[in-house]
Structure 1
């Protein structure tokens, strides 16, 4: 059983590491699974440092869709401009 790891991990693990490069479909699926894993870790730990891992996966997913981090941020900012953000702590009951 394996999982998607950061690019530098095989070198850190050393000679015992078995690694391969995923094809595009495998990579996309692995990134989606990694996003769930990293979000779950943040939700469990409540550690803001875990958000860096979530952001790293989001940047990789954006790149998979042809977006740079700057383009992703521009899309986020445009949505915030049009609809607002979440900083206001607004809750709606439906």
Structure 2
């Protein structure tokens, strides 16, 4: 199985006495694996058994989103600036508004 893991996972696995075989992805593979990881983390969030697990998975989603922004050449602050501007111009999702058509 080949999947993108957090930077310190090999270190953690080895500290537990297990073998960790890893390599560094080239830029194209990294971008694709980030997209795959986003799908994986969103799925884990959607299937979390309770709110505490959902929060953990949501934190993973945010981490992957930050990595994707950096991979696209943007700082996390750029992402937040765009998010904030859209929220200011169009609103956020706090008021539970549903469009019926």
Instruction: Check whether TM > 0.5.
Output: yes
Partner of residue 8, structure 1: 8
* Uncovered stretches (5+) of structure 2, i.e. residues with no partner: none
CA distance in 2, matches of 1:9, 1:59: 18
Map 1:53-64 onto structure 2 (within 5 A): 53-64=60-71
Deviation string, structure 1 residues 21-78 (Cα, Å, up to 9, x no partner): 0011100000000000001101100511211100000000000111111111000000
1:65 is aligned to 2:68? no
RMSD (Å), alpha carbons = 1.0
- Runs of 4 or more off by more than 4 Å in structure 1? none
Aligned counterpart, 1:17: 20
Q: SS state of the match for residue 55, structure 2? A: coil
